[in-house]
Chain A
Amino acid sequence: MATQPQPRPDERALIERVRGGDSEAFYELVRPHERAIYITAYSILQDQTEAEDAAQETVLKAFRNLHQFRGDAKFATWLVTIAINESRMRLRSRQRARLESLDASDPDDPDYVPIQLRDWREIPSQALERQELREALTRALTSLDDKYREVLVLRDVQLHNVAETAQILGITPGNVKVRLLRARLQMRDRLVTELSGWHLKRKGK
């Protein structure tokens, strides 16, 4: 159901221009990927200012290291990998204590059961115009375990395919699929919890 991102036909030309000395062309190269870079950084750092700093540094690093991009992966993949490394590095140096999740439900647990509902009323995409839904989605995403959030953002927010996601994270496609299952279930549980005040009928105990 996730469509594969298409490579831009003019990306190769832009890379050649930058390598030929037209530095301004680099900005055109990066522009379609700005949002992805920011969201990747935010999903790891969970702070707007830090995410923006990390995103800017990602772009500068990519510019300085463009000669290292060999074209054996999509340009987007390469950029996102830099963003992840930059963000993780900042996270490590920040050394902030992570809050323990109040909800101990981890799909990795053998006794895990997804939140059971009697039925589900579809939330139309149009509802994303409402801030409260976007905030609920952000809170749910932020509450995920780190390794689940990373794979979910790459695969289901940024729509990289399994192979690309595996390449970016440095894990096997099989591992991607296992983590993705758990990530999707946990995200769905967290969102259900966030929305339970105003949307749902829940299974009675």
Chain B
Amino acid sequence: MEVSCHEIWREISNYLDNDVDPALRERMERHFANCRHCAALVDSTHNVLVLIGDNRAFAIPANFSKRLYAKFAAHLASNR
């Protein structure tokens, strides 16, 4: 039973989370072997998720932690 590109697009998020049943997984992987656009889709989407899940992807401002602690300390001091 072939799976269409539309079905791939619908299931790709679950596939990347290992959340599809083994039969569907196998059909999807057969599709990737035969469809370069969907193979590129799963590769690129997976790559994006690896990048954005990396601590380096989104920077916090310099000295954010210091300022946060200073604000908290000031709050404690004003409430004593």
Contact = CB atoms under 8 A, between A and B. Distances in A.
For the residues of A in contact with B, the DSSP-based class is helix
Contact of B53 (A2, A48, A181, A191): A2
Contacts of B41: 114, 116-117, 188
B44 A117 contact: yes
Contacts of A34: 60, 64-65, 68
Contacts, number: 127
A111 to B, nearest CB: 11
Contacts of A129: 56
Contacts of B71: 56, 59-60
B57 interface: yes
Contact residues on B (Cβ < 8 Å of other chain), bracket:
35 or more
Contact of B69 (A27, A116, A125, A156): A27
Given A120-B44, A187-B48, A181 B76 contact: no
Contacts of A80: none
Interface stretch (A65-73, A87-95, A96-104, A134-142): A134-142
Interface in A140-172: 141, 152, 156-157, 159
Contact residues on A (Cβ < 8 Å of other chain), bracket:
35 or more
A128 B57 contact: yes
B45 A134 contact: no
A39 interface: yes
For the residues of B in contact with A, the DSSP-based class is helix
Nearest to A113: B9
Given A52-B67, A119-B36, A184-B49, A59 B61 contact: no
A175 interface: no
Interface in B44-59: 44-59
A48 B61 CA distance: 8
Contact of B47 (A114, A123, A134): A123
A156 B49 contact: yes
B44 A125 contact: no
B76 A184 contact: no
A187 B46 CA distance: 11
